[in-house]
Amino acid sequence: MTETKKSKLRSRAWFGPTDRGGFIHRSWMKNQGHPDHMFDGRPVIGICNTWSELTPCNAHFRQIAEHVKRGVYEAGGFPLEFPVMSLGETLLRPTAMLFRNLASMDVEESIRGNPIDGVVLLVGCDKTTPACLMGAASCDLPTLTISGGPMLNGKFRGEDIGSGTNVWKFSEEVRSGEMPLCDFLEAEGCMSRSAGHCMTMGTASTMASVVESLGMGMPQNAAIPAVDSRRYALAHMAGRRIVEMVDEDLRMSKILTRQAFENAIRVVGAIGGSTNAVIHLLALAGRLGVDLKLEDWDALGRDVPCLVNLMPSGKYLMEDLYYAGGLPAVINELGDLIHRDALTVNGKTIGENTAGAPCYNREVIKTMEEPFAPQGGIAVLKGNLCPNGAVIKPSAASPHLMKHCGRAVVFEDIEDFHARIDSTDLDIDENCVMVLKNCGPRGYPGMPEVGNMPLPPKILKKGITDMLRISDGRMSGTAYGTVVLHVTPESAAGGPLALVENGDMIELDVEARRLHLDVTDEELSRRRAKWQPPQSPYTRGYYKLYIENVMGADRGADLEFLVGNSSTDVTRDSH
């Protein structure tokens, strides 16, 4: 890096001056043993770490950070690791999604307020990826993302089992009496047997693939298992590369163009990715001013076949995807569906990164000619039940339910659902449509992953494993079924979902992208006149801020005032 470029680094505003302020900024840092030459104008690389022992998927991130530091030092940078709020999917109540926007604010202000020239984001568990990307995008420094990598394949009694997917399957088997409880409990340790995030194509793997296909991560970022030494080599090389990115002033906004988002949407289709990616990418685009709409998901994903045979839609797991060639092989297979000249963090285009990428196992990565499923993309539904849209993942749905008309069985909220679902008195059969209200961003609050409601035991006992389900909530990326999600406007905001009553007929036609409540406009007006919004028990703190400012799922469920980005300048420094 030239002396002129060094003098323009934003970290120089802290470490450059020889006055009292400069003394304070350097002196306190030196208590960690950093020698003088670390303050000589070399780029400061912030390593934004979502490590936490309460986020088991990210619990190995201190080691990854150490390898990033090796690379940064090697390239002449000064690495400084800092923590941000970590969002563990399995423990955090009421739902990690409630705090995605809060964590993004933490990331944004931690970057902006500190002497950082370039950022490496360490992300893994579902919401940590969008939270970090969104926060960093609102600062727009040179930024590189490293995913923590998936766990090794689960192994249970000689079979591969997948995070989440097998939990749903086994718990239904326990409820129907097929699986003894002792077997169920034994499977716990067999499923999660190494560091890393869920190894199905759930939300974490989807978002790691999004990172790679957006160009925000190094090639093979998505699939290298967390414990594979090549994950650490990738971190080392990423550390070297971020120093060059600062030199090149390669900011996030230069990579995250409309083309990059279109690439990511198509890759989500090709991997049979999680519906959660819809919300996260809409929110991220909003931070960057990229014009991306919910409808784009349908238009761009409609022709994309699902190429990977991974759970929850298929058979294999992320470890298998890596050995089969990883995401570069998938992107290469997509051919002209990808904007190949989109720039990536390693300074090459995505086309250059993936050209000729080999596939070593056609069982895992299929071809465009013989795909795993003809429709990989996410279908966006419209109709009088969801005027602003709803989504369904066709590759995880049952073909016989893709066009269906049934009688609504309504649950007013998740507590109502839990109270009644196991009752033998519940008036329901397999042709009914299960409707769950008040699980949207504002209503729950936080839009939890409850859309894949477990079926009633009396239906399961008939050997039936899928029914049409509709809600304003989300679904875990590891889940499956004919599940309509993200109904917008949500019921707590007075959307038509709030007006559905037991016995109403609901029509779904995925091919026509239609979701219709078969009730007259007059009757709906009558019901609306009587409708009262649910009273929120949350009167203070972040919950209140969130409920009052959260936008609908069709806008990415971001907080209204977080849309866009701000300068990295902080002019005042008076302590």
Write down the least CB distance from residue 60 to ligand FES, Å.
12
Write down the least CB distance from residue 91 to ligand FES, Å.
9
Whole-Å CA distances, 424 to 168, 450, 465: 21, 22, 18
Q: Which helix (H) or strand (E) holds 410?
A: strand 403-411
Write down the least CB distance from residue 275 to ligand FES, Å.
15
Closest by CA to 274, choosing from 382, 391, 194, 191, is 391
Write down the least CB distance from residue 496 to ligand FES, Å.
32
Closest by CA to 470, choosing from 481, 456, 461, 457, is 481
Which one, 202 or 383, has the nearer CB to ligand FES?
A: 202
Which one, 150 or 495, has the nearer CB to ligand FES?
A: 150
Which one, 222 or 381, has the nearer CB to ligand FES?
A: 222
Q: Any idea what DSSP says for residue 451?
A: -
Which one, 62 or 544, has the nearer CB to ligand FES?
A: 62
Write down the least CB distance from residue 319 to ligand FES, Å.
15
**Measured distance CA(328)–CA(73) in Å, rounded:** 29
Task: Write out the DSSP string of 113-162.
Answer: TS--SEEEEEE-STTHHHHHHHHHHTT--BEEEEE--BPPPEEETTEEE-
What's the per-residue H, E or C state across 301-312?
HCCCCECECECC
Write down the least CB distance from residue 126 to ligand FES, Å.
5
Write down the least CB distance from residue 514 to ligand FES, Å.
32
Only one residue has tokens 């239609």, namely 514
Which one, 226 or 432, has the nearer CB to ligand FES?
A: 226
Cis peptide before 130 (omega within 30 of 0): no
Write down the least CB distance from residue 260 to ligand FES, Å.
23
β-strands 386-392, 483-488 pairing: antiparallel
Q: Say if residues 112 and 88 touch (Cβ distance below 8 Å).
A: no
**Binding region for ligand FES (CB under 6 A):** 57, 89-90, 125-126, 163, 197-198, 202, 204
Which one, 212 or 413, has the nearer CB to ligand FES?
A: 212
If phi over 0 gives left and psi between -120 and 50 gives alpha, with beta otherwise, what is residue 34?
beta
Which one, 208 or 439, has the nearer CB to ligand FES?
A: 208
* Token digits of residue 88: 């563990």
Q: Which helix (H) or strand (E) holds 407?
A: strand 403-411
Which one, 194 or 361, has the nearer CB to ligand FES?
A: 194
